[in-house]
Every structure is written in structure tokens, then in C-alpha cells.
Amino acid sequence: MDERLRRITAKLARVPRLPGRAKSFGEERHGFRLGPPLTEDRVSAFEAQHGVRLPAAYRRFLTEVGHDGAGPHYGLLPLRAWNQGGLSESGDLARPFPLRPTTVRAGRGWWERLGSPRPPFAGTMAITSQGCGYLTVLVVTGPARGRILNIDLDPRRESFFSPDTDFLAWYERWLDETADGLDTHGFELSLPGTEPTLADTLADSPDPDLRAAAARTLRRRPHLTPATRAVLRAAATADPEPGVRATAIRALNVALPDEELPVLQRALTDSAAAVRETAVRALAGRGTSWHARARRLLRDEDPDVRKTALKALEESQVLTEEDVLPLRDDTAPSVRAAAISHLSRLDAPSAPAVARAALADPDPVPRHAAVAIGIRRRWLTEPDLRPVEHDPDDLIRRQVASALRRMAARSAGPTSPRAGREGGPMLAP
């Protein structure tokens, strides 16, 4: 057993017992217990069956350390589960996975650029499940052989390469971060490195994906030095990429001291909608000085910013009926629907009338909100619902039909105790 394997074995025995360690997401399933190593014959048989040679780092782990159990997320999968969730439609490990390794993200729609109708995951094997269709896979064949890739079985989602050089680096980083008390949510998208190294990456890297990943990784650390927070403040206000600015704001928001609130407040006027939205979400519940600016965001050009401002003001318990009413006629259907929801939660006197008016909205999103909330709050009567009984939206029709049946049952009054099972008279004994 080489030095890396000895080190990992020792850490695996020690980390679960450390005081102050992080709770590793999914540990209730694997309990930090690793199954016994696989025999050389078992691994060789798997390789012969699929016509491949497993990457060296992973192969040595299987044959010298263990198999199936303790690991990131819900733990390492057994070798037999390599095609978890129908990962590879062809079930072909020998066919090269075409994607070349990148620093962090493969991007959305990468398979389309390769001329494929959906992500071709042949040449990869599942090694952990992250839940909800997310998997961690190991590239077995192709230009990224030996690298770890995080994927979603939904092809509309992005894929992310882990920055770790191989399986052992990835596995040891999980143990180290757990020992250091880092929040293990987000492990799959984080960078290895110390806090100063990550701060240097955020400040100096020419790659915006790496800068964003550095900020995202720093967010997972429970305590940051003043020097690191200064780097985050600079990134939140001056980085040329909106995604980096937004991620730096989220990192700053962890244990944010009052003296750093102005950084978030200035971000409310950022040129990028994603940054304004992140800032107003981060400010919810933090003092009062930002309320006036948040109310101006209710007229923001971006509908997501308008909705987030509504939510932040409500969470801070300062949202008023007067704030919401102008949005009942908003240009965005989702904002009109949000206005109905917020008026309902405020118990605003205007809420029933706004819901009734929205039943005639040209878009199904506000109509759905009006029907669902209006029925639940009993604002809508049978005459209100009859005009939407044949709404073109199937869900709305089902909700209205169900409500009308309940109204009819209530109007009929309680069933006589002597009524039979089919509503007829009950025969005397």
C-alpha cells in the first residue's frame, strides 16, 4: 500500500470520531463504514467483461482500501451499480466519453456541440449518488480518463468536472473537509486548497469559472479571516463577471458583520439582474436601511428581481398592501401571480377582488394562482368559478371542477343518517 492509500485509511478511521467535524451529507446511510476490498480476480473479471482497465487510483482503492460505503454524498456505490439510473444507454464502458477535461464546468448543452441528441455517458461509471437524479461519475475511457464528473440525468442540466486530479485526491479532499468542519453541501462544485489559496484564485485567476468556484468554496467555510473577507468584498463590487459578483455576495452573507452591509446595499443597484437579486435576498431580515432601495426594485426591469424584492420585504415583515397592488397589472405573468400570493399572506382587504379579476388573466400562471388561492381561502363563489369551468388549462379545470363539486355537496346539506349507501332510503330492520 502506497503513502496516499495509507493516509486515506488512517483518516477514514480517525475523522468520524473527531470533535467538531462536519456532518457529512448522507453519512446516516453509510455510517463511515467501507466494505472490504475486492479481490484482484473480481476486479479483473469486471474489466474483462467490459473491455476496460479501471483508472489506476480507483482500482488501487478498490483492491487495497475498500469498496461500497463510506464516501461523499450517499456513499460509494458498489461496482455492480456502475450503470446507476441507466447512466449509459448503451451500457458501454469501452466507448470513449467524448468530453475533454475542463477546469470546472462542462457547460449546458455540451453534447449538442458534439452532434449528439442527449448527453453520451458511455465510458463513465457511477461512483456515488447525490440524490434527485444527480450522480458523481468516474471517466473510465476517453480524454478525461480518471477524472470525476458531476452530472444530472436530466439533460437540461449542466455537468461539472471536479478539479481533483483523480479518485484518490477527490476522496481525500472529502475526508479533509469533513475533518475541518466545512459544510459538505456543495462539496461536488468546490475547489481544493487552503483559504489563502482560494482567496488568491478569486483575486487573480483569469478564468471566471475558477473565480466563481473559489468564492463558492469559501462560502462553505464557517470562519473567514479579515483578509479573505476583503477579497470577497472586492469581488462582490468589482469583478467583471456578474456570476462571480453574485457568488461573492452569497459567500459574504455567511456570518455577515454589520459593517459589511453597505457592500450588499450597493449591489442593489448593480448592472446585472442576478447580482441585484442575490443582494436583496441576502439583505432580508438585516436591519432597515435597505428597505427603500428594495421598494424601488419592485419596479426593476427584471421580473425575477421584482419577485425577490417582494419576498425579501415580506420576510422582513415590512411588505404592505400598497407595495403589492401595482404589481397586479405587471407585464410578467409570474409577477402577477406572486402579487396574488403576497396579498393573500398579508390578508389584504383587496386580495379577494384581485383574485377574482385574475380569473380572466390572459396567461394561465396568474389564473392558476387565483384559482388555487381563491378556493383555499374561500374567496371564490360558484358564480365566480363557472366562467373558468372550461378553462383551456387542464389543471385549472380539474381544480374548479373539484371545488364546484364540494360547493354542491355543501349546498345539499348533511346526508340523512338513514340514507342507504347509494343515496336511497334505508330499509327498516
121 vs 416 pLDDT, higher one = 121
Length of the chain: 429
Query: What is the 8-class DSSP label of residue 325?
Result: G
pLDDT for 204 beyond 80: yes
Question: CA-to-CA distance for 29 and 18, rounded, in angstroms?
Answer: 19
Cα–Cα distance for residue pair 115/113, rounded to 1 Å: 5
The percent of residues in the chain predicted with pLDDT above 90, rounded, is 71
Position 133 scores a pLDDT of 80
336 near 358, Cβ under 8 Å? Answer: yes
Measured at the CA of 149, the angle between CA 147 and CA 153, to 5 degrees, comes to: 150
Q: What is the pLDDT of residue 88?
A: 75
Q: What is the pLDDT of residue 335?
A: 98
Whether residue 172 is predicted with pLDDT greater than 90 in this model: the reply is yes
pLDDT level of residue 202 (50, 70, 90 thresholds): very high
Residue 117, pLDDT above cutoff 80: no
User: How much is the pLDDT for 159?
Assistant: 83
pTM: 0.78
pLDDT at 111 over 90: no
Give the pLDDT band of residue 107 (cuts 50, 70, 90). Answer: low
- For residues 216 and 197, give the distance between their C-alpha atoms in angstroms, rounded to a whole number: 14
d(CA 344, CA 22): 40
Inform me whether the pLDDT recorded for 1 exceeds 80. no
Decide yes or no: CATH 3.40.1580.10 for domain 3-106+115-174. Answer: yes
Confidence category of residue 257, pLDDT binned at 50, 70, 90: confident
215 neighbors 247 (Cβ within 8 angstroms): yes
Nearest one of 108, 203, 92 to 140, comparing CA atoms? 92
Nearest alpha-carbon partner for 327 in 354, 352, 345, 348: 354
Using the predicted structure, report yes or no on whether residue 394 has a pLDDT greater than 90: yes
For residue 200, name the pLDDT band (cuts at 50, 70, 90): very high
Q: What is the mean pLDDT of the chain?
A: 90
Q: Which residues have CB under 8 Å from 362's CB, separation 6+? A: none
Q: Which pLDDT belongs to residue 287?
A: 84
Give the Cα separation of 336 and 145 in Å (integer): 49
Q: What is the pLDDT of residue 372?
A: 96
Q: For residue 109, is pLDDT > 90?
A: no
Give the pLDDT score at 424.
Answer: 40
Task: Give per-residue pLDDT as tens, 216-248.
Answer: 999 988 789 999 999 999 999 999 999 999 999
CA distance 78 to 81: 6
Q: Give the residue-averaged pLDDT of 156-163.
A: 82
For the stretch 32-77, pLDDT in tens is 999 999 999 999 999 999 999 999 999 999 999 999 999 999 999 9
What are 325-335's pLDDT values in tens digits? Answer: 999 999 999 99
